[in-house]
Each structure stands twice: as structure tokens, then as C-alpha cells.
Structure 1
Amino acid sequence: MATVSMADKAKAKADNLIDEAEVATSASAGDVQAELENLRRDIAALTQTVASFGTGKLKEASIRASQLGSEAADVSAQYVESARDSLRSAEQDLQAQIRSKPLQAVAIAAGVGFLAALLSRR
């Protein structure tokens, strides 16, 4: 009977191991559920962080684009004003030249007119 009692002890020990394995398995499933929940919270937090980062970068880009647009408008206005000044200066120089040498101006105008007439015939 001593052999039977050892077999019973071995069977009882095996049953205990099976019970412990079931407890360990259910504990592992609970741990997995907890870890999944932590992972979901981390992903949600990461999503919010990335979204706010993207929003911040979008605002920065918008502000920079506005600044560049303003700078371009200012530079364009300066170039237009410079061109106007140059044209006024050229017009004043031309008027002064015509007043100082009116016959030469008439001869040049007649020559340009004659050339324009020749070119328009062809």
C-alpha cells in the first residue's frame, strides 16, 4: 500500500500543479487585460500628443506664410514705387531734351514714324 499512497501523493501533486496552472493562466489573462488597457490609454495619449504637435506646426506654418506674404507685398510695393520714380525721371529728362532741342525731336519723331509706316506695309 505504500506504493499506492505514493501514487496517490503523485496524483494529488499533479492535480495541485494543474490547479496552480489554471490559477496562473487566469492571472495571466487578467494581466494581459490590464496591460491592454494600459496600452489603449498610452495610444490615446500619444494620439492626442501627435494631434497637438501637428496643430502647433500648422499654426507655425500659417504664421510664417503670413509673414512671408507681408514681406513679399512690401518688397513688391517698393519695386513698383522705384519703377514709377524711374519712369517719372525718364519722362522729365525726355521733356527737358525736347524743350532744349525741339527740331531734333521733331526729326527723330518723323524718322520713327517713317520706319513704322514702312514696317506696317510689309
Structure 2
Amino acid sequence: MERRRYAIELGYGADLHGEDMTKAALRAVKDAMSRTCLCGLVEVHGRDRFSGVHVHVEVAVPEPLQVDCDELVRAVPIGTVSAQACQGGMRAKGLEVECFGPGCSDIVCACAVLTVYVDEK
């Protein structure tokens, strides 16, 4: 069965206090999902329960090894989901607010790409 790209959406997220790569990545994934409407899967392709739908999440952050990709997978509510983190994003000088993340003063920015694939019958 051939798999074809159906939709691609981009998102941006940041952690302003705490330098949490996963939190920034999750926000980027949720930002991308908030602009994605996959009504064509149901109305045009007649799919129910999104069977044969696959979503690949790729996020770019300054420290990709610190991203919990399992959390990214759990954030996507449809299809078979895979996720990976790669080097990228941005780190900017911020302001330490001790109650949000002691010893953390940088702002961490993440970019996400969600690609939706469908199995062609």
C-alpha cells in the first residue's frame, strides 16, 4: 500500500522560563495542530476513525536529546504517530524567575513540522 502526503503544517512554541525543550516542542506541535483541519479525510476520502492515517512530527530545538518524543506522540490525537527531534530552534537571553525554573534564564524556541500521510488503497 502506498503512503501519500496529505497535509503539512508548521508550528512555533517557546518556553520562556525553565529552558524545557519538551515544553517548547509540545507548544510548537499544538500550534501546528491548531491550524490544521483534516475534514477532507472524512468528507472526500470517506475515512472513519482515521484508519490509514499517519502523522510524523519533527521538532527543531537547541537540545534535541532533551525532548521526550513520547510526549509529542501522545499530543497528536489521530492516526499512527511518529516523532523525532533535531538540532535547530533558538535560544535567547531571557530573565530568570526562580519559581518557574531556578538557574534557568534562557528562552527556548522550537519549530515543528507535522506531516499527515494517508494510505492509498
TM-score, with structure 2 as normaliser: 0.19
Bigger Cα Rg: 1
Higher-helix-fraction structure? 1
Higher-strand-fraction structure? 2
TM-score, with structure 1 as normaliser: 0.19
